[in-house]
A and B are shown apart, each in its own frame.
Chain A
């Protein structure tokens, strides 16, 4: 069986970051769930803080530099994405959004995804549903039903209350999706799978 790769995109800005902490908890839980089914997991981290300049450069120039290109390939090439952002001003952070803005159209189509967010208080938790879900719906990612929000106070909650339960449920959902998935399907490659020109001409023929 192939190793399952998980790309973990984390948009936390501080060091250490509670956003990264949540991302780690989520990816560890997914790994544990898949291990029970005998599947190996490779986790690849994409820390957006380290890519802040390259992302801004891509917005300006229209192409990704090498470091950003590697990160994009990590995310688009993974079997699933775990994406976690701090909530700023009622939504995902600008850096988080900018990373998804520079992906090619269709890059995440059908990609299993687990969403997470962090914030000062639970008042911001609905941002997961009114901001992150629409974004990933637009990207046509296959988002699992449970998204996880961690407020500051949640880090003090007893393990099997609240946050821990949410993490486990979300991780099980993603693991289940990955276990149901057939062997990885290759993303269509516009270079390798070029449409023969006769087909393009024929498609324009009037009936």
Chain B
């Protein structure tokens, strides 16, 4: 099972000091967070993509390319890459390029984005959101899998004799996760292709997450990619930890109360009861996270949000230390218990390459 960090990349004033980091500071902090994640033994770093302040990560593959050069082991991913408003040709090329630079340590999570004006800014219509995700991804798959593509669709200029360049590393496209919070259509899309499905459950109650994942698993089996239990599932999580539970609550409360997404709404206690948010000790985080399996089944990827709402970098790095030292080793051990042997790990470049070579050998024999 993979564990990692995902970041939104928001520039938010620290509500306890009023200080707002500069964009440069925030961008560098995201790099430091990725490096720390690798240092403490996490498996994945994923960045969001946004095209409006107060967010900084508009160019994820630029950032991930830089992080690739600074790291050796961690998988670089996104949370999410906008399949609706980005040109699928550019996604194909950017991520193939990144694959080569990062020696295959790359996958990608596709999402539709939730900021209305981004669609018109990029010449699209939000009412086409699902259709854009469907058509653009169908093209993206072909660009990665076929050397020369002739294509015509609704949303983009036709292509004649087009070759996306560079070709994916070893001709193995990056593994794709489809992220969606509330759209059954996207769970269906992930299932159809046998891709991964990531439910960013951090602001949602468990029964909603369960419904989305159950649909994806059932449809994954329906399309013949394996059993429902073998479908590739990822989940989010949101944590703030201190050795003493009360210290965690006291320190995190002002960040919670003023958080851009849910601040000034439910209380910290209500939100903790309703969503995956855990504010407390590493043991409490372990307990809550292990509980995800009760409604999501055995899953493949767990990403934690630790760096939003104006938390200072130093605090965020302390959180990642706690994750790496105290939380994730226990989660690895506990999640491995009673996990059926035929539930696969999340695909990586190496596993996809090996699977393809095994397939080719089987055809030859």
Contact in complex: A194, B274 (CB < 8 Å) = no
Whether the pair B184, A63 counts as a contact (CB closer than 8 A) is no
Partner of B205, one of A56, A59, A63, A198: A63
Query: Given A56-B265, A61-B203, does the pair A194, B135 have CB atoms closer than 8 Å?
Result: no
Main secondary structure of the interface of A (DSSP, over half): helix
Residue interface mask A1-15, B partner, CB < 8 A = 1: 000000000000000
A206 to B156, CA, bound (A): 12
When the two chains form the complex, which single residue of B189, B261, B266 contacts A57, counting CB atoms closer than 8 Å?
Answer: B266
Question: Chain B 193-228 against A: per-residue CB contact (8 Å), 1 yes, 0 no?
Answer: 000000000011100100100010001000000000
Establish whether residues B188 and A195, one from each chain, have CB atoms under 8 Å apart when the complex forms: yes
In the bound complex, what is the Cα–Cα distance between A203 and B154 (angstroms)? Answer: 11
**With an 8 A cutoff between CB atoms, is A37 at the interface?**
no
Binding site for B on A (CB under 8 A): 56-57, 59-63, 65-66, 190-191, 194-198, 200-201, 203-204, 206
Q: Which are the 8 A-B pairs with shortest beta-carbon distances?
A: A60-B265, A197-B192, A57-B266, A190-B184, A57-B265, A61-B262, A61-B265, A204-B135
A118→B264 CA distance, assembly (Å): 31
**Which of A62, A196, A204 is the one whose CB lies under 8 Å from B154?**
A204
Known: A60-B265, A61-B262, A194-B215. A206 touches B154 (CB 8 A): yes
Interface string of B136-156 (1 = CB under 8 A from A): 001000000000000011100
Task: From known contacts A206-B152, A206-B154, infer whether A62 and B138 are also in contact, taking CB-CB under 8 Å.
Answer: no
Asked if B125 is an interface residue, CB under 8 A from chain A, the answer is no
Given contacts A194-B188, A197-B188, are A204 and B131 in contact (CB under 8 A)?
yes
Q: Is B185 an interface residue (CB 8 A)?
A: yes
Write out the residue numbers on chain A whose beta carbons fall within 8 Å of the beta carbon of B134: 197, 200-201, 204
Q: How far, in angstroms, from A65 to B271 measured CA to CA in the complex? A: 9
B268 CB, min distance to chain A CBs, angstroms: 12
A88 shortest CB reach to chain B, Å: 23
Q: A190-B184, A195-B188, A201-B134 are contacts. A66–B203 as well, Cβ < 8 Å?
A: no
Is there an interface contact between A63 and B215, defined as CB atoms closer than 8 Å? no
User: Which residue in A56, A60, A61, A200 is a CB contact (below 8 Å) of B185?
Assistant: A200
Interface magnitude class on chain B: 20 to 34
- Chain B residues with CB under 8 Å of A196's CB are 188
Least CB distance, B255 to chain A, in whole angstroms: 16
28 contacts between A and B (CB under 8 A): A57-B266, A61-B203, A61-B261, A61-B262, A61-B266, A61-B271, A62-B203, A63-B204, A63-B205, A63-B208, A65-B266, A65-B270, A65-B274, A66-B274, A190-B184, A190-B185, A194-B184, A194-B185, A194-B219, A197-B134, A197-B188, A197-B191, A198-B192, A200-B130, A200-B185, A203-B131, A204-B135, A204-B154
B contact residues around A56 at 8 Å (CB): 265
A57 to B263, CA, bound (A): 9
How far is A198 from B189 in the complex, measured between Cα atoms in Å?
A: 10
Q: A65-B274, A194-B215 are in contact. Are A204 and B153 (CB under 8 A)?
A: yes
Bound Cα distance from A61 to B265, whole angstroms: 7
A66 to B274, CA, bound (A): 8
Closest-by-CB residue of A relative to B135 is A204
Q: Which residues of B contact A66 (CB under 8 A)?
A: 205, 274
Known contacts: A60-B262, A61-B262, A204-B131. The answer to whether A197 contacts B205 by CB under 8 A is no
B265 and A201 contact, CB distance less than 8 A? no
A-contact 0/1 string along B113-138, CB 8 Å cutoff: 00000000000000000110011001
A206 CA to B131 CA, complexed, in Å: 13
Across the interface, which residues of B come within 8 angstroms of A198, CB to CB? Answer: 192
Contact call B203/A63, Cβ cutoff below 8 A: yes
Smallest CB gap from A197: residue in B = B192
Q: Which residues on the B side are within 8 Å of A197 (C-beta)?
A: 134, 188-189, 191-192
Contact residues in B for A206 (Cβ distance below 8 Å): 152-154
Query: In the complex, what residue of chain A is closest to B191 when comparing beta carbons?
Result: A197
Query: Looking across the interface, which residue of chain B has its beta carbon closest to that of A190?
Result: B184
**Chain A nearest CB: distance from B146 CB in Å?**
17
**Distance of B188 from chain A, by nearest CB (Å):** 5
Q: How far is the CB of A63 from chain B (nearest CB, A)?
A: 6
A177 to B263, CA, bound (A): 44
Please, how many angstroms separate the alpha-carbon atoms of A65 and B261 in the complex? 16
Whole-angstrom CA separation of A194 from B212 in the bound complex = 11
**Which residues of the other chain, B, contact A57 by a CB distance below 8 angstroms?**
265-266, 270
* CB closest chain-A residue, reference B138: A201
Residues in chain A near residue B154, CB distance under 8 A: 204, 206
Inter-chain CA distance A136–B208, complex, in Å, is 28
* A190–B119 CA distance with the chains assembled, in angstroms: 24
How many whole Å from A12's CB to the nearest CB in chain B? 24
Closest to A104 in B: B182
Of the candidates B135, B211, B261, which one forms a contact with A191 in the assembled complex, judged by CB atoms under 8 Å apart?
B211
Bound-complex Cα distance A206 to B264 (A): 47
Most chain A beta-carbon neighbours within 10 Å: one of B154, B188, B211, B219: B188
Chain B min CB distance to A55 (Å): 11
Min Cβ gap B331→A in Å is 26
Q: State A194–B266 Cα separation when bound (angstroms).
A: 32
Q: Which among A60, A61, A191, A201 is the interface contact of B184 at CB below 8 angstroms? A: A191
Q: How far is the CA of A47 from the CA of B270 in the complex (A)?
A: 21
